[in-house]
Amino acid sequence: MLVSAETGYRIWAADYDRDPNPLLALEMRILSARIGSLNGLRVIDVGSGTGRWLEYARSRGAHAFGLDLSHDMLMQAWSKTGCRGKLVQADAERIPFGDDAADLALASFVTAYSTDVAVLLTELSRIARRVTISDLHPSAAQAGWTRSFRSGGELYEVEHRAWSAAELMRAADRAGLTLDWSIHASFGESERELFRRAGREHRFEEVQRIPAVLMTSWCRR
């Protein structure tokens, strides 16, 4: 069943943290090592969902806040001590923070829900001098990978758009951003166990050959 992002995350919210998700595990493994120390930095987690990156940033000494459009996902985040009182319900393309509010704006698996990625990156650039995003790799989207989950015996697919690397770079340039680094990450042995738990270990060797997550970081010019 194909559903909008709003509907999908309303249904998915209660099980989101419990479902094995190798994409999120891969992203966390690679990106947490790449972004370096967050101690003392001001961080805004845009599209914070259930608070995965917000918790991480705060646990490492960052002055961090999270925002998300989904009320149901925010309620899951609110139940976590590290997130409570640090959450805002808002659209990622209309962020209710002032200019230069943060040292880092982090948008994890958000760009695919943007109708205009240039608008999104311009807004991220407005609030932070450094912008780091991650999302499903365009190669994975071309290979037919979807954003899907099961709930109540139904299989749901969340509507999204796969922006190409070239489209992201053009949008970043329009937003006044200069490339810092880019990572095309594929699954490793660290994620095999999650495939096994989901009953899909038989597919691991196949999907391991496809770049799974694209992570990119820019600095404001």
pLDDT digits over 141-196, tens only? 999 999 999 999 999 999 999 999 999 999 999 999 999 999 999 999 999 999 99
Residue ranges per domain, the chain? 2-220
Whether the per-residue pLDDT at 54 is higher than 90: the answer is: yes
Choose among 147, 148, 175, 179: nearest CA to 165.
179
Angle at 111 between CA 71 and CA 11, to 5 degrees: 35
pTM given for the model:
0.95
Name the residue with tokens 């599209």.
Answer: 47
Average pLDDT over residues 118-139: 98
Whether residue 128 is predicted with pLDDT greater than 90 in this model: the reply is yes
Q: Is the pLDDT of residue 20 over 90?
A: no
| Among 49, 56, 52, 21, CA closest to 35 | 56
- Closest to 130 (Cα-Cα) out of 34, 214, 59, 56: 34
What architecture (CATH level 2) is domain 2-220? 3-Layer(aba) Sandwich (3.40)
